[in-house]
Structure 1
Amino acid sequence: MNKLFYPAVFHKAEEGGFWVTFPDFPECFTEGDDMPQAYEMAVEAMGLALKSRKKEGEVIPQPTEIDKICLDDGTLVIVEFDMLEYQKKHNSRAVKKTLSIPEWLNEEATAMGVNFSQVLQEALMNKLNISK
């Protein structure tokens, strides 16, 4: 579930710019002074909506098929959301983990000046097929 693609409707605002709604996330809306800013804000708003739903244990909906969206006004835009990039940007605080390794391995690694946190992070990213 790293990259998600959801339809959004970009509406022209009377005072200029755009306001954005999501058919699959009725609680999610945003705005921007121009199309690039509105798109950027749409990505951030979608991230907040997904994070909130995940935290509350709510279902993450499948994207509505574009031919099923009725547009009274506005322009349909597909918003790409990269969950991994969002998490890296917004959830980068360190979390303390307690783990156990054999004493002999600890002694060897300590003698070599190994940074345990860095090694664990690299090993986890390798295991999960995540690149920096």
Structure 2
Amino acid sequence: MKSAYLIILTPAEKGFVVHVPDLDLYTEGADHVDAIEMARDAIGLWGISEEDAGRTIPEGKIGSFECKEDQISTLVDIDFDAYRRANDMRTVRKNVTLPSWLNTLAEKEGVNFSQVLQEGLKRRLHVPEAR
């Protein structure tokens, strides 16, 4: 799922405080670029956490926001599926069942079962090779 969210950058003593009003998230960045990257990261992490908890991620409400004179408003786009692939690298244990003869043959050949399963799942689910 792709979305865009309004963010507000407020100058701080060092860098910027970032507010994502639609999600009531706060983060900070050392400069404009870092602040935007930190906002995207905070939104992505929040979004995949919501998905993991079974909750729906709300769409960003794109509209105007009354900024104070020193604030900057901009949009940050996020692809939650791509964010998950890039950042959620936890491993999980899966128990698989296969015929004994196939297991024996694979073990003799030194097959890495985890790698073969991952490659097969990526191919079956049409996951790009970069991940």
Q: Report the counterpart of residue 22 of structure 1 in structure 2.
A: 20
Structure 1 residues 44-63: aligned runs within 5 Å: 44-63=41-60
Alignment deviations for residues 87-132 of structure 1 (CA, whole Å, 9 cap, x no partner)? 3454323221101112222222222221111100111111121122
Paired residues, number: 126
SS of residue paired to 1:117: helix
- Structure 1 position 85, deviation (Å): 4.5
Q: Report the counterpart of residue 10 of structure 1 in structure 2.
A: 8
Give, as a single letter, the amino acid of the residue that structure 2 aligns with 1:6. A
Q: Report the counterpart of residue 72 of structure 1 in structure 2.
A: 66
CA contact (8 A) 2:10 2:16 kept: yes
Q: Report the counterpart of residue 39 of structure 2 in structure 1.
A: 42
Query: Percent of aligned pairs with the same residue?
Result: 37
SS of residue paired to 1:126: helix
Give, as a single letter, the amino acid of the residue that structure 1 aligns with 2:42. A
CA contact (8 A) 2:3 2:59 kept: no
CA contact (8 A) 2:5 2:76 kept: yes
CA contact (8 A) 2:18 2:27 kept: yes
Unaligned residue ranges in structure 1 (runs of 5+): none
TM-score norm. by structure 2 comes to 0.78
Alignment deviations for residues 29-67 of structure 1 (CA, whole Å, 9 cap, x no partner)? 112121011011101211232133223332211222x3x
Change (3 A) 1:102 1:8: same
Unaligned residue ranges in structure 2 (runs of 5+): none
Q: Report the counterpart of residue 112 of structure 2 in structure 1.
A: 115
Change (3 A) 1:51 1:106: same
Q: Distance in 2 between matches of 1:16 and 1:70?
A: 27
Say what the alpha-carbon RMSD is for the aligned residues: 2.2
SS of residue paired to 2:89: coil
